[in-house]
Amino acid sequence: MDYKKTNAPLTTVTRDMIAMAEQTGNVYETVCIIGKRANQISADLKKELEKKLQEFASTDTNEEVSENREQIEISRFYEKLPKPTLIATQEYIEHKLYFSNPLKEKDHLND
């Protein structure tokens, strides 16, 4: 998924957790789902940023390090993106997340 094109807010927004928990029926399960997705997004963004910054890695062992303008711009771009938690919450609200609870599915099969 392209996190750069998300319509997640850049700042924290107060949400009605009871309304958000309607999909799962449990507030804690909802928070767990959003938290796990936020961890996935965070890991993806970290890999992507490291890959882009790897291009600027130098093999010189000079003590003096010159600042690279492009490297700074890339870092600033990633800093300005919404936080992974906000992106995950927006995905959850827009019903873009697939989630399942194996324990609930197991209970339904036994009924």
- The model's pLDDT over 41-93, given as tens digits with 9 standing for 90+, comes to 999 999 998 988 887 766 555 544 555 778 888 888 888 899 999 999 999 99
pLDDT of residue 73: 87
pLDDT of residue 64: 45
pLDDT of residue 32: 93
pLDDT of residue 106: 66
pLDDT of residue 104: 74
| b/e code 60-92 from CB counts within 10 Å (16+ = b) | eeeeeeeeeeeeeebeeeeeebbbbbbbbbbbb
Nearest to 37 by CA among 101, 86, 102, 108: 86
Asked whether the whole model's pTM tops 0.85, one would answer no
Q: Which structure tokens are listed for 83?
A: 């936080």
Residues 101-110: tens digit of each pLDDT: 777 766 666 5
pLDDT of residue 109: 60
